[in-house]
Amino acid sequence: MDQWTKPPDKWVKINTDGSALCNPGSIGAGGIIRNQNGELILAFSTPLGEGTNNQAEVEVTILGLSWCVNLRYNNVVLEVDSQLLVDWFKNNTAAPWNLSGQMQKLQHTVTKLNKVKCIHTLREANYVADSLAKHSH
């Protein structure tokens, strides 16, 4: 998919992206939550310290889904441009051992939501989150 699409009725969509200046190096996060009409609910951009690009992807997902929990949005479409993250999220492949603690935290966050669909999108459809992640530096 090369353009952003609205989530179903009574769902929100969160697009997230992690950014790393070097790998490993300075990492950051960006994300945006929108409702079924495509209207902005929340956007964020924050530095995450030092780490890898994969660490940034997992951390921003935890952060974004935590916002959904805190704002009481229980049906969430998570859209990311990292196929690796989608595979880890869906347990299609095992995450590297050094991310196992973060993946446990992510799965725990997911249990606080009613429904979560994690889907891959192209970078072009994830432009806002990508820009916010780069801004975090």
Per-residue confidence (pLDDT) for residue 73, from 0 to 100: 97
Per-residue confidence (pLDDT) for residue 50, from 0 to 100: 96
pLDDT at 2 over 80: no
CATH number for the domain spanning 98: value is 3.30.420.10
Asked, for residue 130, whether it belongs to a domain, the answer is yes
Domain residues for 23?
A: 12-135
Asked, for residue 89, whether it belongs to a domain, the answer is yes
Per-residue confidence (pLDDT) for residue 1, from 0 to 100: 59
Asked, for residue 117, whether it belongs to a domain, the answer is yes
Asked, for residue 7, whether it belongs to a domain, the answer is no
Number of domains in the chain: 1
Q: Percentage of the chain with pLDDT > 70?
A: 99
DSSP 77-137: EEEES-HHHHHHHTTSSPPPGGGHHHHHHHHHHHTTSSEEEEEE--GGGGHHHHHHHHHT-
Its pTM stands at 0.94
Residue pLDDT, tens place only, 21-66: 999 999 999 999 999 999 999 999 999 999 999 999 999 999 999 9
